[in-house]
Structure 1
């Protein structure tokens, strides 16, 4: 039996649209083994009723593509998923399934694929690298896909950082979130985002955390995506009024993260308060960064 543990991820991180991701200390676990014939899938945990238990299961589909790449044909597969990452909330649930499936299949075959080869396959399945890369290798990852090739730089998440994640009981698909983005943007907005995203990466790498509150503003995706839910727009407006500058959509949303460090108890209370004012039911997760990525045993 192979057991794989995959972290959740948050992508974009404000201005780092489609290129910046961080692995978080919330995990899905997957157990797989080869059986004599057939397919058995068992699900436990969050959103278990929403996860397909047939050949369309994303973990299974990712395993099949890995077997094809390796050139192996299993007799049958048994999968058990322990699901903790919420689906369609902007926390990398699909990336976790893809990376978990790829690594599990590779493990069953004796680990013939390198990390880089597994990443190439995961990006091919997902279509973009910003979630699957930190899910696989952990830490903070700056990634770029160009002409079919993914290049990335990874570094550790600063140990002082705390990610307070507010998760609404409302799903928002990546497809819907991408559908509201404009085809063109103003030149000055592009310039601002280049500066902010560069500063954000530099602050995360250098540990100059006080610069993060200035670096997290975005004009490429958040102003459009927060309009998909009235409460999202209200939360960001209230947050700005209250000086909560470390607020950002996780991935395509609708989860919201307040990034904090040190002694910020009063601001954290304000964040909890404005979330609880929203009409939806919300849950909270207080997470750290994950610097290990996906593990296999």
Structure 2
């Protein structure tokens, strides 16, 4: 019988540029969750933004997965080592959902299959452009066909860097979705479709001109950036500093710029800009990639 499981889950860039709700990329920044049988329920976490009660997202997911397979939820203690800031568009909530699903499947005696994880994850997240890349790693394109999930996963070539401006201010993913229109012009839909088709090739061929275009968007970024006054400033300065492309990370408010080679110019420029403009946040350089792993005890 399983007594303990540790799940390591990377963050991600969901809604990658033109790939609204269908394309995402994992990043090498991990949250680590340990679920262990115990005589008393508890959650240990240092991050004050993460709930330590039974309302905690990873526990609620774990509990619901156990119920899904008609298993009694065991008494457990959870330890969370959080490295991904909450509410900044780096996939923190997706890591909690994935860890809860995987732990729930293990403690319910189920096999861990990507298709089952993603099918369950859809119930909690609604869209899978975040948890699919965090689970599978790399660049992931995901779609549905009559309730069947279809995806393609690609490894990210070496020498690609992602430079993040991680906003000090949080922004609710729910609110970020509510501000989007229910209908968009046909021309905007075609604009995004054409660019999303180019997106994987831009990365694999390391084509800066192509990536800059492929990351353009008229479905979500154009509306959300109105709530993020720092976006246009950082976008323009990134491109001027030689970035291959730039976009919101997830639903924002964080911004990511890509570099095909050392990103020092972008880092220096952004550091100067946020200081000069009084933009609150930090800059981090991370490599794309990383996937979910787990260990049973």
Partner of 1:218: 217
How far has the Cα of 1:282 moved from its partner? 1.1
4+ runs of 1 displaced by more than 4 Å?
237-245
Partner of 1:26: 29
Matches within 5 A, 1:2-17: 2-17=5-20
CA contact (8 A) 2:10 2:28 kept: yes
1:156-201 deviation per Cα after TM superposition (whole angstroms, max 9, x unaligned): 1122210111101101111221222223323322222111111112
Cα distance in 2, alignment partners of residues 150 and 285 from structure 1: 33
Partner of 2:41: 39
SS of 1:17's equivalent?
coil
Cα distance in 2, alignment partners of residues 278 and 254 from structure 1: 16
Number of corresponding residues: 291
Cα distance in 2, alignment partners of residues 91 and 264 from structure 1: 19
Q: Does structure 1 residue 66 correspond to structure 2 residue 68?
A: no
Q: Does structure 1 residue 294 correspond to structure 2 residue 292?
A: yes
SS of 1:16's equivalent?
coil
- Cα RMSD for the two superposed structures: 2.1
Partner of 1:117: 116
Partner of 2:154: 155
- Pair 185,75 (structure 1): closer, same or farther in 2 beyond 3 Å: closer
Cα distance in 2, alignment partners of residues 179 and 237 from structure 1: 27
CA contact (8 A) 1:15 1:218 kept: yes
How far has the Cα of 1:244 moved from its partner? 4.6
Cα distance in 1, alignment partners of residues 117 and 160 from structure 2: 29
How far has the Cα of 1:242 moved from its partner? 6.1
Of 206, 209, 233, 2:207 maps to 209
Which sections of structure 1, spanning at least 5 residues, go unmatched?
Answer: none
Normalised by the length of structure 1, the TM-score is 0.90
CA contact (8 A) 1:216 1:247 kept: yes
SS of 1:8's equivalent?
strand
How far has the Cα of 1:111 moved from its partner? 4.5
Cα distance in 1, alignment partners of residues 181 and 241 from structure 2: 29
CA contact (8 A) 1:89 1:254 kept: yes
Moved more, 9-18 or 233-242: 233-242
How far has the Cα of 1:57 moved from its partner? 0.6
How far has the Cα of 1:236 moved from its partner? 3.2
Matches within 5 A, 1:165-184: 165-184=164-183
How far has the Cα of 1:267 moved from its partner? 4.2
Normalised by the length of structure 2, the TM-score is 0.90
